[in-house]
Amino acid sequence: MIQSEKRSSGALPIMVVTIAAILAAPLLLMFRRSPLLEWNGFERVLYNTELSYQLTALALAFVMIGIVFMLTGREGLSYLSLSRRDGIIRPEPWIGIKPKPSESWKNLGLNFAIVITLVTAIVIYFQVVQGKNVSLDLFPGIPLILAFAAVNAFSEEVLFRFSFVAVVSQKGYSPYLAQGLGAVVFGTVHYFGNPGGLVGVLMAAFIGWFLAKSMLETRGFFWALLIHFLQDVVIFTALFME
């Protein structure tokens, strides 16, 4: 009875957070061209442009955290925990996730972090790097890569994963609803991103689904943030190569 009452009162919050996430996608594209917060402290225009965008995206992520807090209270914000790294794996035989009794998210998270990062590196090589003469600034290039990867991973996980997971879970709906929303919105956004096109959409949709699963089953942010961060390190490294 309590669960059904939570569901009946949860449709509007889910609609609100879904609309907020959908609106965030074109806003990020707009802010990529015209950031609200501009920085011009670096010699390379690329660094200035990226920092300006990341500061703006981070501000948008904190707005989303505020929306989730208003909809769910402290219970929803608990999914931002980085200390929760383990949990029971829900089997997904259709993609080969058939955990043994001794396996948990500590195993699955590490395995997928390696696999997803390697796949991303291969796709990015063929889409961005192949055929170019490349080099990379050790400073400030590498520190900026790590900083931008961390901020970008945090912002996008908040906007397109945490938002759905926190509200859907708190309102008592199926976890597959949060995973589906995370997959559809994140996949669509990446048609214009890196990796892009149809390959980018399919990769991002799967990652959106999988990282939402990680949050739901660990009730935390750790694996989603780490896996996304590793991906972004690969992507920013490729983009910052001259």
Q: What are the tens digits of pLDDT across the range 193-211?
A: 777 788 888 989 999 999 9
What pLDDT was estimated at residue 58?
96
Tell me how far apart the alpha carbons of residues 27 and 34 are, in angstroms, rounded to a whole number. 10
Q: Tell me: the pLDDT tens digits for 67-118?
A: 999 999 999 999 999 999 999 999 999 888 999 999 999 999 999 999 999 9
Is 98 among the domain residues? no
Is 92 among the domain residues? no
Is 149 among the domain residues? yes
Is 47 among the domain residues? yes
Residue 12 structural domain:
2-82+105-129+140-240
Q: How many domains does the chain have?
A: 1
What pLDDT was estimated at residue 55?
94
What pLDDT was estimated at residue 33?
85
Is 90 among the domain residues? no
What pLDDT was estimated at residue 47?
95
What pLDDT was estimated at residue 34?
85
What pLDDT was estimated at residue 7?
57
User: In the chain, which residues have pLDDT < 50?
Assistant: 1-2
Is 88 among the domain residues? no
Is 110 among the domain residues? yes
Is 181 among the domain residues? yes
